[in-house]
Amino acid sequence: MQANVRRFPEWIRRQWPSGEAHQEVKALLEGLDLHTVCQSAHCPNQGECWSRRTATFLVLGNVCTRKCAFCGVSHGQPLPVDIDEPGKVAQAVQRLGTKHLVITSVTRDDLDDGGSAHIAQTVMAVKERNLETTVEVLVPDFGGDAAAIATVLASGPEVFGHNIETVERLHPQLRDRRYSYRRSLEVLQTARGLRTAGFVKSALMLGCGETEADVLGTLRDLRSSGCDAVAIGQYLRPGPGNGPVAEFVTPDQFKVYEQAAREMGFLFAVAGPFVRSSYRSAELLAAVPAER
Amino acid sequence: MAMYTVVLPSLGDGEDALKGGKVAFWLVELGQSVTAGGDLLEIETDKAAFVVPSPVGGTLREKLVREDDDIGVGDPLAVVELD
């Protein structure tokens, strides 16, 4: 019999989520009717993260007003904002005992403030109920609205994240037309300008057809925009409706990018096939003190 | 002798949860032993390959799915004779 042909290289392999801790997180999230990007994006790290009792909460519903070619989150008519959501996230964090939390959201072009106040309320609710917990937000571009960025920052997240996602050349193909590479850099720059402490972080995914020169150029752009932390991972196709993977970048090549980012002056850089903006994000604060 | 039917664990009831994949390879042959938490078979989703662990230790007595089968969460995968 002919051997089956593997569709994925050896390094794109995870454990199917199972186990008691995983089931506990699942039951808790379902009980509180909360969404996670772990599920919405079919993240292959779900098993590992949930087993460590961490999850990345997706607030403002699980329907995005924008459609990017790489993303697994549903898009279309967004859901009404659940005003109880900040309290429910805070409760989940308390019950899970999460020490570092990532809060992200869908893009809400339908809301006047882009949902920034709701994100800020979620951060504050989490911190009020969980004094030891550090928070990282991963936000959309808010249409470049500096007031929305300021609203989020005022809630006191230790890490402000906005993902550039891909290199400039591939932005028109992969991102919703309302996103732009330059605007994303401006968002990071605005955040840096408003921050006196804490981190500004971004992430990009590889394997979409970019060259090494494209990646290094993007890292330089991020650094010169005031970004001090970066996460670089492999694009993995969430489903048949998303664009194909052009290339599986080798673990060695990821290390090349990680080293290059450090040499450019990023305080924290992590790169690898399963690295995501929120994956093992607590390592940033563990590696570099927030007060510098 | 006690038999245990291994099923593909659910990842959540939400509409967003991963629902299953395609069987790529068996990693244990009939009559071979498997430990609790040990790799049993490999499945592929659109996004990545996953190894499915056996929740129990014992001897693999029956394979209930074949390579290239599409499987969903909750589907029975194998029968393991418990140690």
Contacts of B42 in chain A (CB under 8 A): 13
Closest A-chain CA to B66: A4
**CATH number of the domain bearing residue A179:** 3.20.20.70
Architecture of domain B3-8+18-82: Beta Barrel (2.40)
A8 is a domain residue:
no
Q: Best mutation site among B7, B10, B11, B71 for testing chain A: the one with the most A CBs within 10 Å?
A: B11
Mean pLDDT taken over chain A:
92
Closest A-chain CA to B49: A13
Contacts of A238 in chain B (CB under 8 A): 46-47
**CA A72 – CA A43 distance, rounded (Å):** 9
A130 is a domain residue:
yes
Contacts of B68 in chain A (CB under 8 A): 4
pTM assigned to the model: 0.91
Domain interval for residue A161: 20-287
As for how many domains chain A has, the answer is: 1
Query: Has residue B30 got a pLDDT over 60?
Result: yes
pLDDT at A22: 81
Angle at B50 between CA B48 and CA B53, to 5 degrees: 170
- The A residues from 232 to 271 touching B (CB cutoff 8 Å) are 236-240, 242
Contacts of B43 in chain A (CB under 8 A): 16
A292 is a domain residue:
no
pLDDT at A233: 96
User: Which segments of chain A have a pLDDT < 50?
Assistant: 1-2
**CA A229 – CA B22 distance, rounded (Å):** 37
pLDDT at A2: 45
Model ipTM? 0.85
Contact B16 A6 (CB under 8 A): no
Closest B-chain CA to A42: B18
Q: Where are the domains of chain B?
A: 3-8+18-82
Neighbours of A205 (CB within 10 A): 23
Least Cα distance to A66 among A146, A188, A174, A218 occurs for A174
